[in-house]
Amino acid sequence: MGISSAELSLLLLNDRQIRKLNRVWRKKDRPTDVLAFAQREGKFADPKDPVLGDIVISVQTAERQAQEAGHPLKQELDLLLVHGLLHLLGYEHERGGTQASRMRSKEKELMKKLGHQT
């Protein structure tokens, strides 16, 4: 990823807890699988700050998604962690197109390094 040293926090929640965060920060009143709160973005951000930010994952949603995809929970949690990390590093997919393709490609690359085939 081109980063020599960095840190992030990881918080594992249930659907009720992540729904509250999603409602407050994204104005979406529903649970989600992963939220990422970047430390290096915004008006007062320092791009050299070793703290990337916070990743919040709903284990309940991850369990459902793992079942639907037919793979282990650990693989789904790894995917959500990778997805959140990419958001902390500035990757986006919300608007689709080239940005989404670039992010999906990087997700596949990182998941392969973790030993998962996607």
- Whole-structure pTM value: 0.89
* Inside any domain, residue 2: no
What domain range is 62 assigned to?
A: 7-113
Indicate left, alpha or beta for 90 from its phi (over 0: left) and psi (-120 to 50: alpha). left
Residues pairing with 36 in the sheet = 55
Tokens of 24: 């407050």
Residue-averaged pLDDT of the chain: 92
Instruction: Give the pLDDT score at 110.
Output: 93
* Inside any domain, residue 24: yes
Q: Which amino acid is at 25?
A: W
Most confident region among 39-53, 59-73, 94-108 by mean pLDDT:
59-73
Tokens of 63: 């369990």
* Inside any domain, residue 1: no
Which is more confident, 97 or 77? 77
Percent of the chain whose pLDDT exceeds 70:
99
Spatial CA neighbour of 103 closest among 111, 53, 31, 52: 111
* Inside any domain, residue 90: yes
CA–CA dist 59, 76 (Å, integer)? 9
* Inside any domain, residue 79: yes
* Number of independent structural domains in the chain: 1
Q: Please report which helix (H) or strand (E) contains residue 20, including its range.
A: helix 15-26
Is residue 118 pLDDT above 70, yes or no? no
* Inside any domain, residue 118: no
**Longest distance between any two alpha carbons in the chain, whole Å:** 42
Indicate left, alpha or beta for 2 from its phi (over 0: left) and psi (-120 to 50: alpha). left
Is residue 48 pLDDT above 90, yes or no? no
Radius of gyration of the chain from its Cα atoms, rounded to whole angstroms? 14
Q: What is the CATH number of the domain that holds 109?
A: 3.40.390.30
